[in-house]
Amino acid sequence: MRQAHAFEVVEMTSILTAEDVVRRIAAECAFVDERGGVGIRLRPAAAIVRQYGEQFRVPRRKQTRRSPKTPRLS
């Protein structure tokens, strides 16, 4: 594994907890309307979920092929 020197910029993907993602959505996408109602802008919130959502999904299992069942002899 290569070590980074002080003058090199190493690109790292930020990993957030689910709570951090919710806080970011609340900070960036929430609004208060003229009557005091609170809402969330859905398109920016969905973009944030797509950005960080993969790290919370359980990896899909690889499907294995099963051999067909043999008929019973009676």
* pLDDT tens, position by position, 7-30: 444 444 577 888 998 999 999 999
- Of residues 61 and 50, more confidently modeled: 50
Q: To the nearest whole percent, how much of the chain has pLDDT over 90?
A: 38
Q: Which amino acid is at 45?
A: A
Q: Please state the φ and ψ torsions of residue 65, each to the nearest 5 degrees.
A: -80, 135
Mean pLDDT of the chain: 80
Domain boundaries, the chain: 18-56
Which of 9-18, 28-37, 49-58 is most confident? Answer: 28-37
Distance CA 53, CA 68 (A): 37
